[in-house]
Amino acid sequence: MPIYEYNAISDGCGYCRRGFEVLQKIGEDPLDRCPKCRGLVRRVPSPFRACVAETPEEAAKIESKIRDYEQEGMWSHAAETADKAGLDERAREDYKKAGYDM
C-alpha cells in the first residue's frame, strides 16, 4: 500500500503545515482536507516514489517486469510491482484481475 504525502495549501495547523503522510489504498480518493484542522491540503509526490524509477532505464525495467508478470497471469505480482513503482492505475487493474476488490 502506498504512502501519500500531503501538505497544506491554506494556512493550516502545525500538523499539515509541516506535511504529513497517509497510508491509502490504491484507488482511494486523495484527501483534500487536513484531518486535524480541516484546512485544504494537496498531495505531493513523495521522495520514495520518485526514487523508485529515477532513470528511463529503470522505468523500462520495471515496465517489462510488470509485463512479464501480466503475460504469465501473475496478476498479484504485477500489481505489487506496479504499486511499488507508483503506477496506481496499472496496479489497480492488476489487483482487479488478481481477484482483489479494490
- Give the E-state strand segments of 27-75 in sequence order: 41-44
Query: Which member of 39, 40, 74, 76 binds Zn ion (CB under 5 A)?
Result: 39
* CB nearer to Zn ion: pick between 14 and 56: 14
* CA distance linking residue 82 with residue 91, whole number of Å: 5
CB of residue 88 to Zn ion, shortest distance in Å: 25
53 binds Zn ion (CB under 5 A): no
Residue 31, C-beta contacts closer than 8 angstroms, at least 6 positions apart: 4, 6, 22, 41, 43
The residues of the shown chain that bind Zn ion, judged by CB under 5 A, are: 12-13, 15-16, 34, 36-37, 39
